[in-house]
Structure 1
Amino acid sequence: YEGKLTKALAEPVEALLDSASEDTWPAIRKLLQRETKAAVSGLESAISTFELDEATEKELLLRLENHGRSVVESKAREEAARILIRMKDRFSTLFSRDADSMPRVWTGKEDIKAITKTARSASMKLLSTMAAIRLDEDGDNIDTTLSLALVDAAKPGTTDRSIQSLDPLASSSWERVPEERTLISPVQCKSLWRQFKAETEYTVTQAIAAQEANKRNNNWLPPPWALAAMAVLGFNEFMTLLRNPFYLAVMFVVFLVGKAMWVQLDIANEFRNGFLPALLSLSTKFVPTIMNILKRLADEGAAPAAPERQRETE
């Protein structure tokens, strides 16, 4: 009967723990009670044919009941050892798939922050479910503690609060949970959550990058500098510049000469005296400035040649 009870409990308990919701442990208690009652009833019928004293009969029935509890506890400890994998699987499922279980396509309209929070909350619920064995209907505040400490925004604390009140997970035991019923301590939960976030952060980053790339691909407008060039030159002239690098080189030289003229003529300072006086002053300095720039260019070009001629004469 112990083998039958083990078979009746093991797989259903594993499935219930994997689903991890508020109704998980009530469902496990109900399952344990039903299957244990059926096994005890079968054992009572079997031993009724033997002439056993009442104490021995009670001991056999109690041993079978305890076996049922030990099966559930053993399965819970096995699942608690794999909690990090379960949390990451749940996060990946909820984050990467929509409500219809279809793969998400990051088009740019999705609220990644809200999706991430929902997926993390579900993973936290799984951690809360597996933190302790709840075969007795004793209440605890594990879910609330984990939610406040891990998911919700941290509230500012005052200086006179203790370390425990500032960090509810700075403890090795849960409130109102015996040590023998504890599967994952508060400190372990904190460490697991930190590791969980670190190992799922890449998934979130990839989603953000995919969303940004999709937005850029959907933006058919050219960059601002190209729009400005097309506004000044026209589309055909702009495309001609792109196809012929020689024109770009000429424009670059014109830009350098224009910048040198701007500095030499001090145009900004001239226009402070008024528009008409500035035009008169610039008209008188324009030609001399051009000649001065050309002379400098000629001198700089002739300077390297002079030492070479001197070395040749020597």
Structure 2
Amino acid sequence: MEEEEKNCCSTQLIDGNGEFNFVGLEKFMKAMKFSQCGLSYAVVAIMGPQSSGKSTLLNHLFYTNFREMDAFKGRSQTTKGIWIAKAVGIEPFTVVMDLEGTDGRERGEDDTTFEKQSALFALAVADVVVINMWCHDIGREQASNKPLLKIVFQVMMRLFSPRKTTLLFVIRDKTKTPFEYLEPILREDIQKIWDTVSKPLAHMDTPLSEFFNVEVTALSSFEEREEQFKEQVAQLRQRFFNSIYPGGIAGDRRAVVPASGFSFSTQQIWKVIKENKRESD
């Protein structure tokens, strides 16, 4: 396990200024023997509000070592830019991507460009995008992920073809409200966002399900119910084994790039997104 622990070491893929770390990615791929995987690998990314426990969730889920927020030092941004690591002990080879928190104070109100670009990058590269959200945000008009999802859906349709990405909404700090009640409200929220975004002619009548599979799950509070949280995360971890095969969480994915072309392909995708900066504004 210790050997494995060392093996997951996280690498900054894109820094806080939007610079792509090609050299770092090449080193990561070499050290992890990633290039030899062919099509047998998965990419999982996480996005969501700042200080919502994204890195903590990833570290429990994939045994990675992303930097976590220290609750005692106050809630400030710990993840800057986009970081990647290898999930430990999961087959197939799984690349895990930790995105800088959205709606962060450090970037200020106006600077949401990077937030949109990195969310778009996650949706264009990952097979599964975990969307971390607060339980109390469900059904709220001003929920933190809503404006972001709206823009991302919009730009996604203009720049990229459908890849059947799985959007896994993880409801954090689940309260006494039963999950059976929360899930349909959340699904309705997502459907509404899709229905109201402006679509290019080619996708006027394209249903949400053509672009995305939507999955929903809920977790107890890590700070208040740690044991319960860990049990729930252990169950969720099981879903990432054999994720890319039929019936798996990423079983419907399309247009997979062979691992040997991953670094070139991700760099190109980032370039397209940055060049279309106007779109994401």
Structure with greater proportional strand content: 2
Q: Shared fold by TM > 0.5?
A: no
Provide TM-score, normalisation by structure 2. Answer: 0.25
